[in-house]
Structure 1
Amino acid sequence: MLRWPEPNDFNHDRMTLLVRLDTTAGISGWGEAIAMWPEALRATETVIRDGLLPLLAERDLADVEGCWQAMKDHCWWYGEGGIASMAISALDMALWDIKAKEAGKPLVDLFGRHHQSLPVCASLHVNQATIEDSVRDIAGHIAGGFRSTKLGLAKRGLSRAGRDPDYDVALVAALRAAIGPEAGIMVDAGNGTKWDLDTAIRTVKRLEESGIAWIEEPFLPSRVADHVALKAAISTPVAVGEREFTVAGYQRWLDTGAADVLGLDPARIEGVTGFRKAAAVIEAAGKVVNAHAWSTAVLTGASLHLSLASKTAELFELKPLPGPMQFELIDEPFWHENGLISAPNRPGHGAEPRADVLARYRAN
């Protein structure tokens, strides 16, 4: 369990669970479960240690999909989402890291590359006190090479963003004026924004005047009817999925017709295997696959390889402010060059945490 101050979240503490899986042949793989809260992290650790590791000890680890299915079968009573899915995620990610290392290849090469590189998006939380301060910071990231930005509203910090629709519209308009017409702007309403349907429709229509690329998570996932109604009322693509756990969950979204961009987090949707299965369903429906990679470099590495292997991925999100879980955790951090990011040419997913950094931020 790790706890660290995240500069991209106004230096508030964030938490996650990293897992190292060692084989008898001496190869180690790394995975992540983004359970976030201390009690959820402890529960995830218990499922891994007491339920899933003994199961894997009796199996051929080279058969990663067989291991994945065995873990799902084991969790039949309490699985299909939540803690069980995150526990499976960490181990499956580590198993694929091992498999790629055994093959001596970057993880993406086990699946086939659809992209050599992807344009980077500055995925950030709006947390400055004024529109002017926020625009200055965000425009600086675009000037530094990012091709687009995703604005997380109603986050911790000093901003009113996400709590006042007029403010949100003014913020996006000022940002568009500052960065020009080419750079993309995505708006992530997120958990803290409490729109009713009418407010969402009015606000997004006003945001469309500034040419936003998509509106993300405008309501809680359970408000399916509101997503459908919003989609019918606006011209902007709708993004959902950050809080899904299974392929079945993504299929339900596709069946509604309410989503254009589906967010996948391999640290919660049953790992690399779960991501691949969900991406196949999404791509078959002609929708966009977008990795949610807002945690440590381990998740970033897995998400990057998976994005490069996904036919409909259009960009890759990076936290724009260098923090300890990006720039201290591994020796060769993931970053862009002239606004594009590609997979490092090293075996596995490319994120090998440093023991000294793990010890520094360990929470248990």
Structure 2
Amino acid sequence: MEHWDVVIVGGGPAGAACALAARRADPSARVLVLDRVDFPRDKVCGDGIAAEALDVLAGLGVDPSSVTDGYPAVPRLRLTSPRGTTVERATARPSYVIPRSVLDARLVAAAQESGAVLRHHHVRQVRPRAGHVELDRAITAGVLVGADGAESVVRRALRVQRNLPTQLAVALRGYAPEPPGQRGVQVIVTTEQRWPAYAWSFPLGDGRVNVGYGELVSGGATRAGLVEGLHRLLPGISPAGLKAHRLPLSTGRPRQPDGRVLLAGDAASLINPLTGEGIFYAVLSGALAGRAAGAGAGAGAAYRRELGSRLGRHLRHSSVASRLSRRPALMDAVFRAAGDDQRVFDAVVALGLADGRLTPRALAGAARRLR
């Protein structure tokens, strides 16, 4: 069998970041990335890239300007609460909106430039063995990283339980002409109807917007219902190429097992339960997994510690915020407080798009607005 030090299943942001980190930690490591399709390829997503995700990539030696080239910064965010309160402000740092067909191809190319090997291969069988992990009776890995998305083959092979319907969202995404007045502004609209549910419209800077709508699977989501919700919250939008995808939320994330098999990104249910954001979690968890891979049999425990240290507190706060957000009146109070105070707005954005926390200032502002 063909042996590699690190094998990564999935060449998206989590897989590419993992390969970059593994090669950076040990330039002699033989790193193989497997993906079942060729690049460039589309991936159903909101396409929003927070500045914090670019920070992680910069720490792996990737020039952020090479990732964002051709796509202008989006400096403002407009939020609408379930009861109609709208707040628009400049974010502390601008975001970018980059189609995944472009982003993923650029990141996997950076991984190849670092010395990782990319191969077109559809993994069907994973078997942990003493001293290595076997894939399809053809490849062995000192450490295997599952970065293969919401329907992860690696996760199933570990017999890790799937997210419950209350911990699983489904979203529909397409592209449409940019509406008047939205240049440079990301838009997120929430609604009491079928709550928790939201729509988004993110400008790419080329005259188009990425638009979508998502809600919990437990609410009985159907394609017709998703399309109706999209048009209800974003009237006048005429998107093309609507595709659906599942979002395993971090409220249902599994415990990373010990051993030589790691899970990163969507495969580890690392999707923000408030916003559906997953790219920051993907590149961060991928980077942590790549660094931990050098521990061999101890990789699982090392990765679990690093993930807990880096994201544990944030994930606890986002889970609490997710439960609190089930009260539309509280969400409305938070949005009004964000309209009053830039620091509350920044805290809300950091909690939903990066690794922020529930701050005393944000909680106090919401409490005042509830009175």
- Structure number with the higher strand fraction is 2
Q: TM-score, normalised by structure 2?
A: 0.23
TM-score (norm. length: structure 1) = 0.23
